[in-house]
Amino acid sequence: MLIARVIGTTVSTVKDEKLTGRKLLIVRQTDEFGEPVGKPYVAIDTVDAGIGDLVLTAAGSSARQTNITKDTPVDAVIMAMIDS
């Protein structure tokens, strides 16, 4: 799992049918203090996150383990919002 901050949204009108209706958010990994590190990447949103939210993400095969992303072609998923 990685801590990341949602920094934007992206739109794709042509995509795999299993992704239809799913929100694609641009996130950037942060350190434990919320400071940005690493490069931005796109993640499927499963928790209704928004710009500015601090979230937990999973990548690789782990990203396909949620009920929403099971058997879908995703590499990153937002699976939780961090409260504190």
The rounded distance, in Å, linking the Cα atoms of 80 and 31 is 16
How far, CA to CA in Å, does 60 sit from each of 1, 43, 72? 10, 11, 12
Q: What average pLDDT does this structure show over 1-15?
A: 94
pTM of the model: 0.89
pLDDT tens readout for residues 30-84: 998 889 998 999 999 999 999 999 999 999 888 888 878 888 889 999 999 999 8
